[in-house]
């Protein structure tokens, strides 16, 4: 989603290579939701215990992250306010002052999504192994 800043910094990223916001949103969708699809396939094919459905509890985080991506694509100047459930978001006032709030809210949301996704996997592992 940082296609323009990446171009200015001469970075070669997928966003810069495709140079199309719709394609970039599709790729973001794939990167965000593919792990959930893989987990469901693994469970339904009996490679994983049914306890791994617990990862779906982090699906609201994924949906919100993708929503933020769409909002950034449509309204890049929109001001954001972190919600209580997005915490911790350290030094938010300073982040807003220097103008990187869109980047950081997506970064923090991504961090939280990965954290909870992995946490549910660990819990499912312990439960399914009887530990």
Instruction: Give per-residue pLDDT as tens, 56-91.
Output: 999 999 999 999 999 988 888 888 778 777 777 778
Q: What is the mean pLDDT of the chain?
A: 88
CB-based burial label for 75 (10 Å; 0-12, 13-18, 19+): exposed
pLDDT in tens, 86-117: 777 778 888 888 988 888 888 889 999 999 99
Tell me if 52 sits within 8 A of 39, measured CB to CB.
Answer: yes
Helix (H, G, I), strand (E, B) or coil at 91: coil
Percentage of the chain modeled with pLDDT above 70: 97
∠95-101-106 over CA atoms, to 5°?
125
For residue 130, say if its preceding peptide bond is cis, omega within 30 degrees of 0.
no
């Amino acid at each position: 989603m940082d296609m323009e800043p990446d171009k200015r910094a001469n970075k070669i990223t997928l966003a810069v290579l495709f140079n199309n916001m719709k394609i970039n949103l599709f790729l973001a969708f794939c990167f965000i939701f593919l792990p959930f699809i893989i987990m469901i396939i693994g469970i339904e094919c009996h490679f994983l215990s049914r306890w791994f459905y617990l990862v779906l509890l982090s699906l609201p985080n994924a949906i919100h992250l993708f929503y933020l991506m769409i909002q950034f694509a449509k309204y890049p100047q929109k001001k954001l306010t972190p919600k209580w459930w997005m915490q911790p978001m350290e030094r938010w006032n300073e982040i807003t002052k220097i103008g990187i709030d869109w980047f950081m809210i997506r970064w923090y949301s991504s961090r939280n999504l990965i954290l909870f996704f992995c946490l549910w996997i660990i819990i499912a592992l312990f439960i399914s192994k009887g530990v």
